[in-house]
Chains A and B, each alone.
Chain A
Amino acid sequence: MTKTKAEKPALTEEEKKLAERKKNLRKARFNRYKAWLYLSPAIILLLIFTVWPIFNTIRLSLLTDFNYLGELRGKTFEFGFDNFVNVAQYSGFLTCLGNTMLLTVITVPVSTMLALIVAVALNSIKFLKRAFQTIFFLPYVTNAIAIGMVFMTMFQMIGDAPNYSSIGIINTIIEAFGGTRINWVNPGSNYWANIAVLAIYIVWNALPFKILVLLGGLQGVNKQYYEAAKVDGASRMRIFWRITVPMLSPMIAYVVITGFIGGFKEYSSIVGIFGDEMGPVGAPRSLNTMVGFIYASITENNQGRASAAALILFAIIFVVTMINLYVSKKKVHY
């Protein structure tokens, strides 16, 4: 560098080229630096709030009963797998795991099936199609907690248990069709009744996204497949199973996978209906989920167990997603 500067007055052609190259190099260097400059806010935030947590959560999960207030006070925690053992042996955790699995296994197939039928139906009509499409999308733009509260008022019997003054709107409708009233959500209600209400709400909430994606897929399917099938005299059911479903399989796989991931993270809909107690009166926490368990552990000041639970949740989601991908690889027709 100093050499070039010194010989500046007499630049040869060779040296000019060299200088040009250096300039370019500096520019390139600046560009590289510039890229990092532009990325820096994102990267700094991601390092603090995403990358560090990944490692730290693993660390915390291995420190028995870690709580950060204790750590700051200089408390030390034993290293080992006790958090995982304690959590896995705790009946409250198993309840959460069971509820999460159950709700996912019920709602994902039901909502996917319903969404598929609605999408196919929407795709076969012209009049009022857009109006229907708009209506079916409405649940998406709602607040899960707020509308959960509406579902609660629909299912609940009114008055103080067990001396209700009214059986509520849903029970009134059920009785109008000759059914019998059910204690859905009130004190002393049955677990399965609670699950049914949750499943109905979750499906209601999950339909718009699935319909949107599946309808988008259907509109991409070439109409002539159907016409060809009709010519062959294939029945509608046959067409549905033999053409629609295979052609839509990538979209179906997509909504099923996202559905499973969302299902394992279910939480807000339960808070919406049952509140922070995560269950009806007399059985709080009976409907709690994995996510609810993790949050409760954080606030109960046991971040060690919370971390263990979060890692278990991650492992479950990971495995289920892998299974889904494996299955769809075999079944999906591209």
Chain B
Amino acid sequence: MKKRMGAVMLAGLMACTMAAGLTGCGMNVKPDFEMPEGGFDTSKEVTINFYHTMGATGTRSLQAVLNDYIAEFNKIYPNIKVVHEQTGGYDDVRDQIQTEIVAGNQPNLAYCYPDHVALYNDGYAVQSLNDFLPGGAYSNEKVTLADGTQVPLALTEEEKNNFIPGYYEEGYKFDDESKMYTLPFSKSTEVLYYNKTEFEKNGWKVPTTWDEMETVCAQIQAAYPDVKNPDGTVKEHVYGFGYDSEANWFITMCEQYGSGYTSALGDHYLFDNQTNRGFVQKFAEWYNKGYFTTQAIYKTYTSGLFVATSGNRAMMCIGSSAGASHQLPDKVDGKYPFEVGIAPIPQQNPDKPKVISQGPSVCIFKNEDPQEVLASWLFLKFLTTNVGFQAEFSSASGYIPVLKEDVMRTNEVFAQTLDDANGYEGLMALSTKVALEQENSYYTSPAFVGSSKARDEVGLLMQAVFTGTKTLDKAFSDAISECEYFTT
């Protein structure tokens, strides 16, 4: 009798009876994905396409890492052929997929940022992953491999718990908060790079709060006053810090204060409030005192200032954890001019630390062929839960693995890398280590159509106020009206 029932019904029933204690289950839960009869067919060849931005050059290119693990994957699933291509940068991936969705020839999987998913989902093109999660409709579904062994199709509870929670939660940051659309692939965050040699020499305290940041900037300025040219131009100015992303700064401050930024539902743009105006005003004062500069004002990554040893330079830099290799100064006479330290970014409330979670996630697109969707899911699950892949990808890219530190340490090579982290050659590992240690601090902002506009606008707002181009009032009201023009 069971055989006569549709596989969907079967799976649904099984999920309900066997996982009754888990949340979100009941007869009324209709699966988003319709399971084909017999589940995933391991005997039939299936090809899946994966768009990403991984480069193919370098000693250990990201594509090489990927290819190695596709080979590993094919040992389990020889019938799944993974075709992958670098589609340029993140925006190129987005633009290409957007047009392909219309034509119906989108890939099976793609690198994505949350706002891209919001855009794709405007066309209902993204496959929700709920059914494949613990407690989901198919959480007890098995895949029978060629040798007869059975492996779970869905993510297991244990696998789920291995993810860094902030990264995993990003998959839910859309207008319908009950649906999960992405799995984190590899991540980055912001960390504070500081000139450890100078800090130790001068007895400065590495700032953990923004108040401490202000203090140390004043100390730096006192220790290194400006040197001027005869015509009044500046020969040497020492900044407290360089900040690489004005937008991140604004959004992170909103999170740290708990003041509004955006919301996926209802009134999207909440960022014009007294708290936010307050910190922008404060930072503008810092800017006028010469405490910092930003990427847009400096015209390129402020790591250029951080690694400089003469002329204009900076004692700290808040930048991507993935950019550690750029924060290491060039050797002079075979020796590094200074040691680099890495710390978490300053906080407003050290008890509730908040740092941004960035970097690619991967989403799966709906497809007429359910086998392709299942194959894509298996591939995505494989890459994101595989410690070996996460470790190698992290070492090759400087990105943070999406799994917790203790899980990652089961990989001996990676554990050794973390232990060998230092402020010189081991800087990349050091940034990964510092990032992994903050596993409970990560946040992501809600994604909706127009969320990237908000991000752009708050960044521009900061630039405008810092450079004195606009008053605080005008900068905020312009940013709001820009955002609203694009969503009405």
Q: Does A53 contact B (CB under 8 A)?
A: no
Name A160's contact: one of B297, B478, B485 (CB within 8 Å): B297
Q: Does A281 contact B (CB under 8 A)?
A: yes
By a CB distance below 8 angstroms, the chain B residues around A157 are 233
Q: Does A159 contact B (CB under 8 A)?
A: yes
By a CB distance below 8 angstroms, the chain B residues around A166 are 233
Q: Does B369 contact A (CB under 8 A)?
A: no
Name A282's contact: one of B123, B229, B299, B466 (CB within 8 Å): B466
User: With A160-B298, A160-B305 known to touch, is A72 a contact of B102 (CB < 8 Å)?
Assistant: yes
Interface size on B, residues (CB 8 A): 36
Interface stretch among B205-213, B269-277, B328-336, B467-475? B467-475
Q: Which residue of B lies closest to A158 (CB)?
A: B233
By a CB distance below 8 angstroms, the chain B residues around A188 are 467-469
Name B488's contact: one of A86, A159, A175, A300 (CB within 8 Å): A86
Q: Does A187 contact B (CB under 8 A)?
A: yes
Chain A at the B interface: mostly helix, strand, loop or mixed?
Answer: loop
Which residues of A81-100 are within 8 A (CB) of B? Answer: 86, 90-92
User: With A282-B463, A282-B469 known to touch, is A165 a contact of B102 (CB < 8 Å)?
Assistant: no
By a CB distance below 8 angstroms, the chain A residues around B229 are 165
By a CB distance below 8 angstroms, the chain A residues around B467 are 161, 187-188, 281-283
Contact with B along A64-91 (1 / 0, CB 8 A): 0100011011000000000000100011
Q: Does B460 contact A (CB under 8 A)?
A: yes
Which residues of A270-316 are within 8 A (CB) of B? Answer: 280-284, 286, 300, 302
Number of interchain pairs (Cβ within 8 Å): 82
Complex Cα–Cα for A280 and B470 (A): 12
Q: Does A167 contact B (CB under 8 A)?
A: yes
Q: Verify B234–A159 contact, CB threshold 8 A.
A: yes
Q: Verify B481–A91 contact, CB threshold 8 A.
A: yes
Q: Verify A161–B312 contact, CB threshold 8 A.
A: no
Q: Does A124 contact B (CB under 8 A)?
A: no
Q: Does B464 contact A (CB under 8 A)?
A: yes
Contact with A along B248-276 (1 / 0, CB 8 A): 00000000000000000000000000000
By a CB distance below 8 angstroms, the chain B residues around A90 are 481, 485
Complex Cα–Cα for A283 and B466 (A): 11
Complex Cα–Cα for A92 and B305 (A): 34
User: With A187-B297, A282-B463 known to touch, is A160 a contact of B233 (CB < 8 Å)?
Assistant: no
How many whole Å from A89's CB to the nearest CB in chain B? 9
Complex Cα–Cα for A70 and B486 (A): 15
Q: Verify B98–A283 contact, CB threshold 8 A.
A: no
User: With A91-B478, A282-B466, A283-B470 known to touch, is A300 a contact of B312 (CB < 8 Å)?
Assistant: no
How many whole Å from A92's CB to the nearest CB in chain B? 7
Q: Does A164 contact B (CB under 8 A)?
A: yes
How many whole Å from B301's CB to the nearest CB in chain A? 12
Q: Which residue of A lies closest to B453 (CB)?
A: A300
Q: Verify B469–A161 contact, CB threshold 8 A.
A: no
Interface size on A, residues (CB 8 A): 29
How many whole Å from A183's CB to the nearest CB in chain B? 10
Q: Which residue of B lies closest to A93 (CB)?
A: B485
Q: Does A163 contact B (CB under 8 A)?
A: yes
Complex Cα–Cα for A165 and B463 (A): 21
Q: Verify A73–B102 contact, CB threshold 8 A.
A: yes
Q: Verify A86–B234 contact, CB threshold 8 A.
A: no
Contact with A along B282-316 (1 / 0, CB 8 A): 00000000100100111100000100000110000
Complex Cα–Cα for A166 and B311 (A): 12
Q: Does B231 contact A (CB under 8 A)?
A: yes
Complex Cα–Cα for A65 and B485 (A): 11
By a CB distance below 8 angstroms, the chain B residues around A91 are 478, 481
Which residues of B474-488 are within 8 A (CB) of A? Answer: 478, 481-482, 485-486, 488
Complex Cα–Cα for A284 and B102 (A): 32
Contact with A along B114-152 (1 / 0, CB 8 A): 000000001100000000000000000000000000000
Q: Verify B297–A163 contact, CB threshold 8 A.
A: no
By a CB distance below 8 angstroms, the chain A residues around B296 are 187, 281-282
Q: Verify A160–B481 contact, CB threshold 8 A.
A: no
User: With A86-B485, A92-B482 known to touch, is A165 a contact of B464 (CB < 8 Å)?
Assistant: no
Name A284's contact: one of B290, B293, B460, B488 (CB within 8 Å): B460
Contact with A along B222-233 (1 / 0, CB 8 A): 000010010101
Point out residues on A near B: beta carbons under 8 Å. Answer: 65, 69-70, 72-73, 86, 90-92, 157, 159-161, 163-167, 175, 187-188, 280-284, 286, 300, 302
Point out residues on B near A: beta carbons under 8 Å. Answer: 98-99, 101-102, 122-123, 226, 229, 231, 233-235, 237, 290, 293, 296-299, 305, 311-312, 460, 463-464, 466-470, 478, 481-482, 485-486, 488
